[in-house]
Structure 1
Amino acid sequence: MTINDSQGAPHRLRDPFKHSQKPKLTSACKGIFMLVLTTVLLIVVVGVDIVLETNILTHTLDSALRSSQEEQRSVREDVACSPIMANASSIDYHSRHRYYSLMKEASSLSPHPVFRGNHMVLCSSNLQSDLSYEYCLPISGRKDSPFCAGADRMDLLAQHSREIRCYASVLHMLLVEVYEELQHFSHTPIVVFGSLLGAVRNGSMIPFTEDTDIAYSGQLNESEIGRALKEKGYHFFFLHIWRVCVASTHPLAAKLYDSSLPITEAYKVPYLDLYAMKKQNETTWSMEEFSDGTLPADKVQPFSQVKINGLSFDTVHDPNYFLERMYGEQYMVPRPRD
């Protein structure tokens, strides 16, 4: 090539990016894009995995919780208790009546009552002093005549179902044993109100009533009469007046207990009412719940006697006066409760 040729030809400078830098930039962009895409995909995969694991864990926890609840429910249904029973063989009863010897035999062969659910409160002797009717043994029975006319505590030794058990049989048991206990502690018991009414009408318990009635002299307390009754399987409690019902520890509790009933509500079980009476002066006696609260002394003493199922009980001197004041002139005509 000549000098002129060399000078006449335009001088072309080499573009440094034309062949080498452009490919490098494209490759870098692709690398960044792939990195971002991989990261996004990884995040998506991890997210999906977390969601799946969370769902699995939630399902597992739900299943475990349901299983635990079912197990707890099953355990609760299986949990039961039996109270420490009054031992009839070691109890000092105040009578040699045949009933007590037969009851001792029957109770020795009878299983302890078993309580479940909210009835388990009946196993707790610590709660007894804090509860009234709630601590009474749930008992059901018949109140119809003539089936329950002449119902007696002796019936309880043979009967096993509420279909043939009479309320009045339980009331007769309460009446006799509480009366004997009051006599033992010199509280001068007398039968009054409905118990006297049944005695005067036909010499028995009124079949359609829920309670039986005794009046007493002196002061009652839990450390004396209350402790003695508790040892025999009774619940002694104060609600306006002193009252007594059958407790879960009674020797016949397994025979009497009705597990289908709820915790006992007030006045919904056989029970005994105790009414304080007092000689105010030479002419007047007072008695809780009696008419205007006072009776002439000569209508009260000397006491007379009435019979209930063949057993003798003291009562007021003039039963007719007492009953007429309480129930009117037609007191001999039965008027079943609604």
Structure 2
Amino acid sequence: MLIVVVGIDIALETNILVTKAVLNPAILSVREEEFSCSPMTVNLSNIEYHSRHRYYSIMKELDPPSPPLFRDNHTVLCNESLRSDLGYGYCLPISGRKDAPFCTGADRMDLLTQHSRRTRCYASVLHMLLVEIYEELQAYARSPALVFGSLLGAVRNGSMIPFTEDTDIAYSGELSEDNDVGRALMQKGYHFFHLNIWRVCVAPTHPLAAKLYEPTLPITEAYRVPYLDLYAMEQLNDTAWSVEGYREDIIPADKVKPFSQVIINGLPFDTVHDPNYFLVEMYGDDFMVPKPRG
């Protein structure tokens, strides 16, 4: 029994690997008055990335990546089978800065070096989420398009908005945890879950989880972590599209297709045909003026 093993003197000095415990296949350890675990990070050699960007080349060099070490109530993050029930609670606790100008132009490349909560930017994590989820949606013919905050940042200055917790992509077709997109995102170390709409955050199994993890934070509460919102869009007829979250959900067809393109951190992304129309309708004529959240 585990209790007996813990009672042995040597168990007070060294970690005990429990390979057939409730959190299997995570690696567990027990110390005196301490319980900890590390999740199984995704296997980078099994991941198919959809571009030859230098970011992915450096990521591949991390194989095998080091997992984070979870203690106390954070050990629930080792149990991947709970991800659907936990919602935001399964998102890796991540802290970071959201101030300009320090985080203006933040990029996913920033995440490949070690940062603390004082030097890491939320926008760097958001950029990683935006690029990888966009590429996955594109690879599986879901016609991704930047909308809302991600489009706003692109139009304002060609970068991520530095002072927000989330970024946004619209898509066509169906999504679920069990279809092609859902499986691909989880295989890359992302938590894909439904709360009113589909959302994505960094999972404890992500290759960069050990670099991003902030152990002093509580289990993640709703909207208190970098995350991406996915909005369903659909052509209703020859004259109208519906876009989840858009004002009254309806937008004229000629404002949506054919898609135009915007640039974020040097990378091109599809968006609605008339970005200015979309942003004026959502944020007003002064949408170019940044309005940090209180």
> What TM-score, normalized by structure 1, do the two folds share?
0.77
- Per-residue CA distance 1:242-277 (angstroms, 9 max, x = gap): 000000000000000000000000000000000000
Residue in structure 2 matching 1:97, options 53, 68, 79: 53
Matching residue of 1:141:
96
Residue in structure 1 matching 2:254, options 285, 292, 298: 298
* Cα distance between partner residues in 2 of 1:76 and 1:247: 28
- Per-residue CA distance 1:203-226 (angstroms, 9 max, x = gap): 000000000000000110111211
Shift, 1:129, TM fit = 2.1
Residue in structure 2 matching 1:279, options 232, 235, 244: 235
Shift, 1:160, TM fit = 2.6
**CA RMSD after TM alignment:** 1.5
Query: What secondary structure sits across from 1:285 in the alignment?
Result: strand
* Cα distance between partner residues in 2 of 1:161 and 1:76: 29
- Per-residue CA distance 1:91-143 (angstroms, 9 max, x = gap): 111111110011122353x5210001110111001111222100000000000
Matching residue of 2:277:
321
Paired residues of 1:83 and 1:249 also in contact (CA < 8 A): yes
1:39-54 to 2 correspondence within 5 Å? Answer: none
Identity across matched positions, percent: 70
Q: Are 1:180 and 2:156 an aligned pair?
A: no
Paired residues of 1:278 and 1:286 also in contact (CA < 8 A): yes
* Cα distance between partner residues in 2 of 1:112 and 1:106: 11
1:100-179 to 2 correspondence within 5 Å? Answer: 100-106=56-62, 108=64, 110-179=65-134
- Per-residue CA distance 1:212-241 (angstroms, 9 max, x = gap): 000000110111211111100000000000
Query: What secondary structure sits across from 2:70 in the alignment?
Result: coil
The amino acid across from 2:43 in the alignment is N
* Cα distance between partner residues in 2 of 1:214 and 1:153: 17
Shift, 1:76, TM fit = 6.8
Q: Are 1:191 and 2:137 an aligned pair?
A: no
* Cα distance between partner residues in 1 of 2:63 and 2:151: 31
The amino acid across from 2:227 in the alignment is Y
* Cα distance between partner residues in 2 of 1:235 and 1:274: 13
Paired residues of 1:216 and 1:275 also in contact (CA < 8 A): yes
The structure where strand makes up a greater share of residues is 2
Query: What secondary structure sits across from 1:165 in the alignment?
Result: coil
The structure where helix makes up a greater share of residues is 1
The amino acid across from 2:149 in the alignment is G
* Cα distance between partner residues in 2 of 1:136 and 1:145: 25
* Cα distance between partner residues in 1 of 2:141 and 2:233: 13
Matching residue of 1:54:
none
The amino acid across from 2:255 in the alignment is K
Shift, 1:158, TM fit = 1.2
* Cα distance between partner residues in 2 of 1:167 and 1:241: 21
Matching residue of 1:87:
43
Residue in structure 2 matching 1:207, options 133, 142, 162: 162
The amino acid across from 2:86 in the alignment is L
Q: How many residues align?
A: 266
Shift, 1:279, TM fit = 0.1
* Cα distance between partner residues in 2 of 1:119 and 1:159: 21
Shift, 1:179, TM fit = 0.4
Q: Structure 1 76/206 Cα, relative in aligned 2: closer, same or farther at 3 Å?
A: farther
Give unmatched runs, 5+ long, in structure 1: 1-70
Query: What secondary structure sits across from 1:286 in the alignment?
Result: strand
Structure 1 ranges of 4+ moved more than 3 A? 74-77
Give unmatched runs, 5+ long, in structure 2: 1-11, 13-29
* Cα distance between partner residues in 2 of 1:272 and 1:114: 25
Matching residue of 2:199:
243
The amino acid across from 2:271 in the alignment is T
Paired residues of 2:44 and 2:63 also in contact (CA < 8 A): yes
Shift, 1:78, TM fit = 2.3
* Cα distance between partner residues in 1 of 2:264 and 2:115: 24
Structure ID, larger Rg:
1
Shift, 1:298, TM fit = 0.3
Query: What secondary structure sits across from 1:324 in the alignment?
Result: helix
Paired residues of 1:137 and 1:246 also in contact (CA < 8 A): yes
Matching residue of 1:45:
none
Shift, 1:89, TM fit = 2.6
